[in-house]
């Protein structure tokens, strides 16, 4: 008999997951969420000096004159000032409010919502065999169970990539038709361990690479939950709760510096990259290392559970 | 009949929690046989099948299939089997063809082979229909298709008659016999339907409280037994023991295998010694053993 190839398992997993109506529903929800920033941008009051350096200069003046801003001296304020100063010093125009670049920048704030959809998908991929009872028939086949885990994990990552790509395509296409596609050549100035300036496409690519690191960590956590509890709904609920509330809970215990090594302190890259760090010394690299370690440990425990635990 | 042993289980022991589900069970199944596995609820039939499939971890004992030891090479061992469980074997949202493709991709079967197998089991007109719309009988035909596709040495089926209508049962029985004859493979079938197993199987193994308690070889044994009740069972047993005739006891009754010559001898001894025969009953041996198990 031929050696069973991992690629066959992957194709099987992809077909099992992507051929269901459930995925279609999740992708429709993704599209609806992706359109939201367009409507928010569309309903924003547009100043007369929109998209000019004058708007940046006046923003700097407002921040400098505002007593609350100057006395607070918080990170967010400092980063905002740095971004404005960079734009003025380097003559970089801010994106117009009604533009693709504005929508794309706004879309990144919505990533946690897409993460919920990714968590739901991952929960289904790992727990469906248990809830439907097909796990017995599946695991009685001559398969190496670590390969099954890998196939399911890659399927979950493919679903996450699909969600991200669909959200981007929808937001770019819809906003492009509404505001014009010329915004794709804009530059976006943002804060990421220092002020950075990138083209829209590079900005999108960088953001989504960081988002994918969060996806890697959270997917392995949800996979472990689904295999441990043998229930996708529980795993999804717990995964979503931890993702949303994890950083807030950790923040309440911020005096315990050891908590910076916990996965949930490191998965919300949007916050970390904007400059709000939960613990001193946290950097992108630090978070990437912590997420990777958690991902490996969670995956190992999941495979051990697959291998060692009784089924049925 | 080929007497090569394809499945060997020695001193198998399995506990769940503190309860011992399988006690030092030993079993040997020969090639190209259809074996029925019978026992009351909770006897350990499904547990035995799940243990054979590697789904439950055994505490002790050896299992080997076609000479491949479970502990030495689990993957190679599992390649010898095709398991069909009584619950969900298929992905309901996928089509009939895609369900078989799932198996086919793993075992390197071509699309052409899958198409042929679907036609063979009579599901050609439902090839693209979702399995969720299939009846029990059609699901069983899909199980047969899996067996035909896999061509495994040992096919293990847990309660395959559940929910299948009489016509489906007949078709299923014929398919199993045909596959066995064509592919020279072995079947181990667990069921409560004694009449079906009696028609289908070469041998029936009785399992109770996690152990094999009896077996009936349907090829050599007609499977029927006479039950005699007399007015003095103690004296009857004594007379028969002294005469060295072949019989067995069940409480106060005398059990005689379906052998008219032996029955005549026993009757003659009892009548000549003025023992009153109160009742003679011809009973199916399989049903009798099963009723005894339930009675226990």
Choose the closest CB to A310 out of B55, B93, B101.
Answer: B55
Examine residue A78 and state whether it is found in any structural domain, yes or no.
no
With respect to residue A232, please indicate whether it lies within any of the assigned structural domains.
Answer: yes
- Give the 3-state secondary structure of residue A199: strand
Instruction: Sort B19 into a burial class: Cβ within 10 Å, 0-12 / 13-18 / 19+.
Output: exposed
- Domain-located, residue A114: yes
pLDDT of residue B255: 85
Secondary structure (3-state) at B153? coil
Of B57, B84, B102, the CB nearest to A12: B102
Q: Among residues 136-155 of chain A, which lie with CB inside 8 Å of chain B?
A: 136-137, 139-144
What letters, b where the CB count within 10 A reaches 16 and e where it falls short, cover A160-187?
bebbbebbbebbbebbbeebeeebbebb
Residue A142 is nearest to which of B79, B90, B94, comparing CB atoms? Answer: B79
Of A1, A132, A144, the CB nearest to B88: A132
Question: What is the pLDDT at residue A139?
Answer: 94
CB B106 within 8 A of CB A9: yes
The pair phi, psi for residue A14, each rounded to 5°, is -60, -45
Residue A16 lies in a domain: yes
Does residue A124 lie in a domain region? yes
Q: Are B42 and B196 in contact (CB under 8 A)?
A: no
Those residues of chain B whose CB sits closer than 8 Å to some CB in chain A are: 16, 46, 50, 53-57, 74-79, 81, 83-85, 87-94, 98, 101-103, 105-108
Whether residue A14 lies inside any domain: the answer is yes
Chain-chain contact of B105 with A12 (C-beta, under 8 angstroms) = yes
**Number of separate helices (H) and strands (E) present in chain A:** 13, 2
Which positions in chain A touch B74 (Cβ < 8 Å)?
A: 142
A137–B85 CB contact, under 8 Å: yes
A65 found inside a domain: no
Number of residues that this document lists for chain A: 312
Contact B7, B154 (CB under 8 A): yes
**Disruptive mutation site among A2, A13, A142 for chain B (greatest number of B CBs within 10 Å):** A142
**Nearest CB neighbour to B94, from listed A1, A16, A133:** A16
Q: What is the pLDDT of residue B50?
A: 94
CB B191 within 8 A of CB B160: yes
Q: How far is A311 from chain B (nearest CA, A)?
A: 5
- A310 close contact with B: CB closer than 8 A: yes
Long-range contacts, A37-42 (Cβ 8 Å, 24+):
A37/A103, A37/A106, A37/A107, A37/A109, A37/A110, A37/A171, A38/A103, A38/A171, A38/A174, A38/A175, A38/A178, A40/A106, A41/A97, A41/A98, A41/A102, A41/A103, A41/A106, A41/A175, A42/A98, A42/A178
| CB-based contact B98 A143, cutoff 8 Å | no
pLDDT value for A225 = 93
Residues of chain B contacting A8 with CB distance shorter than 8 Å:
105-106
> B53 and A2: CB-CB below 8 Å?
no
- Report the chain B residue with the minimal C-alpha distance to residue A137: B89
Q: What is the pTM of this model?
A: 0.86
Q: Which residues of A touch B87 (CB under 8 A)?
A: 133, 136
* pLDDT at site A273: 65
Any CB–CB contact under 8 A between A252 and chain B?
no
Q: What is the rounded CA–CA span in Å between residue A10 and residue A154? A: 8
Cβ-Cβ contacts under 8 Å, A9 against chain B: 106
Confidence of residue A85 (pLDDT cuts 50, 70, 90): confident
Judge whether A23 is closer than 8 Å to chain B, CB to CB: no
pLDDT in tens, chain B (296 residues): 556 789 999 999 999 888 889 998 999 999 999 999 998 888 889 999 999 999 999 999 999 999 999 999 999 999 999 999 866 679 999 999 999 999 999 998 999 999 999 998 889 899 999 999 998 888 888 988 999 999 999 999 998 888 788 888 888 888 899 999 999 999 999 988 888 888 889 999 999 888 888 888 877 665 678 888 999 999 999 999 999 888 888 778 888 876 667 888 899 999 999 999 998 888 777 777 777 766 65
- Considering only CB atoms, A19 lies closest to which of B76, B88, B94, namely B94
Dihedral angle of Cα A161, A163, A164, A167, to the nearest 10 degrees: 150
Q: At what angle do helices A232-252 and A200-229 cross, to 10 degrees?
A: 120
Please report whether residue A149 resides in a domain: yes
Show the tokens assigned to A212: 């994918």
- What is the residue whose two structure tokens read 């000549």? B272
Top residue of B21, B106, B129, B152 to mutate, by most chain A CBs within 10 Å, is: B106
- Residue B267 near residue B233, CB atoms below 8 Å: no
Kindly report the backbone phi and psi dihedral angles of residue A73, in degrees, each rounded to the nearest multiple of 5, phi listed first.
Answer: 50, 35
**Could you tell me which of B69, B64, B43, B81 has the C-alpha nearest to residue B206?**
B43
Which of A239-243, A263-267, B205-209, B260-264 is most confident? Answer: B205-209
Residue-level pLDDT at B113: 92
Query: How many helices and strands in chain B, by DSSP H and E?
Result: 10, 14
User: Is the minimum CB–CB distance between A3 and chain B shorter than 8 Å?
Assistant: no
| Structure letter (DSSP) for residue A194 | S
Q: Give pLDDT, residue A16.
A: 94
Q: What percent of chain A has a predicted confidence (pLDDT) above 90? A: 37
Q: Does position A1 have pLDDT exceeding 60, yes or no? A: no
pLDDT at site B251: 79
- Tokens 């007399």 -> residue: B230
Best residue in B65, B91, B108 to probe A by mutation, most A CBs within 10 Å? B91
Range of the domain at A176: 6-51+95-308
Contacts A19 to B, Cβ<8 Å:
93-94, 98
Tokens of B47: 């547990």
Range A230-246 average pLDDT: 85
Q: Is the pLDDT of residue A113 over 80?
A: yes
Instruction: Assign A73 a pLDDT band (cuts: 50, 70, 90).
Output: low
Is the pLDDT at A77 greater than 80? The verdict is no
A104 has a pLDDT exceeding 90: no
Give the pLDDT confidence score for residue A127 in this predicted structure. 93
CB-side neighbour CA atoms (13 Å) of A164: 24
Provide the number of structural domains found in chain A.
Answer: 1
With tokens 């035995």, the residue in question is B48
């Amino acid at each position: 008999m031929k050696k069973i190839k991992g690629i066959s398992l992957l194709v099987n997993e992809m077909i099992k997951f992507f051929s269901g109506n459930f995925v279609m529903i999740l992708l429709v929800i993704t599209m609806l969420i992706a359109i939201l920033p367009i409507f928010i941008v569309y309903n924003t009051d547009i100043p007369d000096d929109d998209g000019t350096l004058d708007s940046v200069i006046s923003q700097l003046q407002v921040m400098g004159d505002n007593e609350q801003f100057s006395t607070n001296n918080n990170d967010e304020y400092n980063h905002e000032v740095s971004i404005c100063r960079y734009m003025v010093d380097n003559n970089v125009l801010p994106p117009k409010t009604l533009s693709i670049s504005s929508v794309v920048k706004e879309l990144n704030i919505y990533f946690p919502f897409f993460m919920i959809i990714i968590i739901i998908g991952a929960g289904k991929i790992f727990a469906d065999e248990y809830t439907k009872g097909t796990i017995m028939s599946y695991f009685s086949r001559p398969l190496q169970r670590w390969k099954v885990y890998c196939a399911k994990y890659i399927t979950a990552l493919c679903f996450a990539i699909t969600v991200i790509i669909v959200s981007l395509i929808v937001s770019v296409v819809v906003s492009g038709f509404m505001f014009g596609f010329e915004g794709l050549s804009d530059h976006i100035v943002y804060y990421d361990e220092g002020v950075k300036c990138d083209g829209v496409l590079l900005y999108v690519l960088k953001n989504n690479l960081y988002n994918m690191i969060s996806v890697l960590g959270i997917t392995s956590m949800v996979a472990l939950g689904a295999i441990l509890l043998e229930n996708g709904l529980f795993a999804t609920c717990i995964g979503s709760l931890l993702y949303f509330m994890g950083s807030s809970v950790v923040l309440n215990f911020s005096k315990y510096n050891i908590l910076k090594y916990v996965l949930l302190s490191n998965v919300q890259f949007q916050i970390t990259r904007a400059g709000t760090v939960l613990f001193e010394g946290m950097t992108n690299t630090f978070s990437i290392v912590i997420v990777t370690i958690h991902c490996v440990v969670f995956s190992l425990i999941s495979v051990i559970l697959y291998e060692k635990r009784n089924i049925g | 009949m080929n007497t090569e042993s394809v499945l060997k289980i020695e001193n198998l022991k399995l506990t769940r929690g503190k309860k011992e589900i399988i006690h030092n069970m030993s079993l040997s199944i020969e090639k190209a046989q259809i074996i029925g596995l019978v026992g009351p609820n909770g006897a350990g039939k499904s547990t035995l099948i799940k243990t054979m499939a590697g789904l439950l971890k055994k505490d002790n004992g050896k299992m080997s299939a076609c000479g491949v030891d479970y502990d030495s090479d689990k993957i190679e061992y599992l390649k010898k089997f095709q398991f069909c469980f009584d619950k969900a074997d298929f992905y309901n949202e996928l089509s009939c063809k895609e369900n078989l493709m799932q198996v086919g991709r793993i075992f390197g079967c071509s699309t052409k082979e899958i198409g042929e197998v679907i036609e063979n089991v009579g599901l050609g007109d439902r090839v693209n229909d979702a399995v969720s719309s299939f009846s029990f009988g059609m699901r069983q035909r899909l199980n047969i298709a899996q067996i035909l596709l896999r061509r495994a040495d040992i096919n293990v089926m847990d309660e395959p008659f559940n929910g299948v209508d009489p016509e489906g049962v007949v078709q299923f029985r014929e398919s199993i016999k045909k596959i066995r004859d064509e592919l020279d493979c072995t079947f181990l079938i667990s069921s409560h339907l004694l009449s079906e197993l009696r028609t289908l199987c070469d041998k029936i193994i009785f399992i109770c409280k996690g152990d094999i308690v009896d077996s009936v070889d349907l090829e050599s044994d007609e499977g029927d037994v006479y039950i005699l009740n007399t007015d003095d069972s103690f004296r009857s047993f004594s007379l028969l023991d002294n005469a060295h005739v072949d019989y067995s006891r069940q409480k106060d009754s005398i059990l005689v295998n379906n052998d008219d010559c032996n029955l005549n001898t026993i009757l003659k001894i009892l009548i000549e010694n003025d023992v009153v025969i109160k009742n003679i009953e011809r009973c199916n041996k399989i049903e009798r053993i099963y009723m005894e198990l339930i009675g226990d």
